């Protein structure tokens, strides 16, 4: 678990975020802090505002009001590229990977490395360098693939998650957002993904991980802290070592209010 204290400056701080779609209020003053070296879970019922808040942090949605700060510096994300520029990467539930491409082609999709010299100027890709970097990333995550040369569509769900996470940490150096990474996976594949997250947290202490999940046992297995969202607001932030699943459920449903 992370050893960071509340006195340390947060890696990410979102404060008073609001977002409305007509009369529907998706976010109503939502606030959240993420510190480096921690896995911070975000939980709540469907419609609680989790997805909208993640999209604000990812630059997909522009909030109506509120502030976002990275390392204590106020910033504003108008596009996903703005968020990526400061090291924010998101792995959405649908993964957004190209099933017909192999692992390294997916990791470098849209950011391909080119050969040096004349060949590079002619647009020739450095496939060896991309393959080597992808293998290095997957090895660091202890992710086992039958072959990095096979189309990703032939991989298991857990292996596809590994490729998506490897792609994100290749480019996101500060904040990694994982949206329901174990949804629709079998038990062995869920364990593989949780092991990936645990390993990443240990080996990238400069990074903060925001985990959106409905699986409360996973929250207690992998997260340092958990924030509960309800009706567009963050209603509680708790250390997982100091709460219980029963208390979390009460907070999610409003029974604890």
The CATH architecture to which 1-87+172-257 belongs is 3-Layer(aba) Sandwich (3.40)
Task: Write out residues in the chain with pLDDT < 50, as ranges.
Answer: 2-7
Domain ranges within the chain, ordered by starting residue: 1-87+172-257, 102-166
Quick one: pLDDT at residue 172? 66
Phi, psi of 100 (to 5 degrees): -85, -5
DSSP code for 233: E
Instruction: Report the predicted TM-score, pTM, of the whole model to 2 decimal places.
Output: 0.81
Quick one: pLDDT at residue 67? 96
Quick one: pLDDT at residue 6? 43
In sequence order, which residues have a C-beta less than 8 Å from that of residue 195 and are 6 or more positions away? Answer: 142
Q: Tens digit of pLDDT for each residue in 194-232? A: 888 888 888 889 999 999 999 999 999 999 999 999 999
- CA atoms of 113 and 245, how far apart (whole Å): 46
Determine how many CB atoms are found less than 10 A away from the CB of residue 113: 15
Quick one: pLDDT at residue 186? 79
In sequence order, which residues have a C-beta less than 8 Å from that of residue 187 and are 6 or more positions away? Answer: none
Quick one: pLDDT at residue 241? 95
């Amino acid at each position: 678990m992370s050893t960071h204290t509340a006195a340390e400056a947060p890696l990410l701080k979102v404060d008073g975020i609001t977002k409305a779609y007509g009369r529907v209020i998706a976010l109503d003053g939502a606030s959240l802090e993420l510190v480096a070296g921690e896995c911070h879970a975000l939980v709540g019922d469907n419609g609680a505002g989790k997805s909208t808040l993640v999209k604000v942090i990812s630059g997909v949605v522009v909030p109506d009001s509120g502030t976002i700060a990275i390392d204590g510096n106020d910033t504003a994300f108008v596009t996903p590229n703005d968020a990526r520029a400061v090291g924010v990467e998101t792995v959405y539930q649908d993964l957004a990977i190209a099933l017909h491409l192999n692992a390294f082609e997916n990791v470098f999709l849209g950011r391909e490395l080119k050969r040096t010299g004349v060949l590079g100027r002619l647009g020739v890709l450095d496939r060896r360098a991309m393959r080597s970097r992808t293998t290095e990333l997957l090895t660091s995550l202890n992710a086992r693939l039958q072959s990095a040369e096979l189309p990703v569509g032939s991989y298991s769900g857990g292996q596809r998650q590994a490729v998506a996470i490897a792609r994100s940490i290749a480019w996101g150096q500060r904040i990694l957002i994982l949206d329901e990474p174990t949804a629709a996976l079998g038990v062995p594949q869920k364990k593989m993904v949780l092991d990936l997250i645990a390993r990443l947290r240990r080996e990238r202490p400069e990074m903060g991980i925001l985990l959106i999940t409905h699986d409360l046992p996973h929250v207690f297995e992998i997260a340092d802290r958990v924030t509960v969202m309800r009706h567009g607001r963050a209603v509680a932030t708790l250390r997982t070592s100091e709460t219980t699943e029963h208390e979390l459920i009460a907070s999610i449903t409003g029974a604890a209010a």
